[in-house]
Structure 1
């Protein structure tokens, strides 16, 4: 489950689905709720299927998606060298409460994304904060942090759930 906040939304968007990496060159994001959509990133192209309609475009038009594929692929494979090739990395914390900040090395991605901060606990990735060069921070709560936000209801403090992992786990 993902919970995405935005200044443009009255309430965070709750998305249920899953990410899959069927092979080293493919990342698939399947959304089931509140709509059905499958995004597949492969061979320098992204395709988004909704119902009977599919649209495709080159990743050069959306460098943040290319960065997402590269970073998720490297993270899922545990490939630190690949991650370091695409990002400058700053890590802090300990296994129970960790933060990984990724700063894009690629100029095209850096033109739209300043950095991506991953926050977690143990093997659980709980929050992704993407800071664009323009506009609002995009915070995506995952796993336990998203469940805690849903349980807290409308008054949930999404920033606190993302940043204060000790409180979010309770």
Structure 2
């Protein structure tokens, strides 16, 4: 089987929704992706699909967010959410390939850090560390160990501290 990671295109939209719905066992993430596509900050090059022998088997989305400090300063970063792989293809490295390719794409577009709310045993494999190391907090009240950050450029998050502000679409999930 041949795995190809590439940016999504409009003909992939239905398959991407299906991948997210099946991977998460409910429609929230599929609806989130559809909503974020309509947001003016959506970056098509950061919505990637994993194509396995011509079939969409996985999807990942990175979306711009800001870290807002107590004194009102803002730092732009990017969030990884969601990443999904069809159940029959999970635990085969497809999600990891999507993450690696997505992080490269973020770097190429000039982003110096990434935020993720996810499994604390999975994301550290890619270099993610608890975001509270830099004084960064999430607005959802998630467990500290599940809210993580990655510096794509050394020192990018030093002195950043604050709460990550997600677009309104995330509140509907």
Q: Normalising to structure 2: TM-score of the pair?
A: 0.28
Structure of higher RCO (CA pairs closer than 8 Å, 6+ residues apart)? 2
Relative to its length, the structure with more helix (as a share) is 2
Relative to its length, the structure with more strand (as a share) is 1
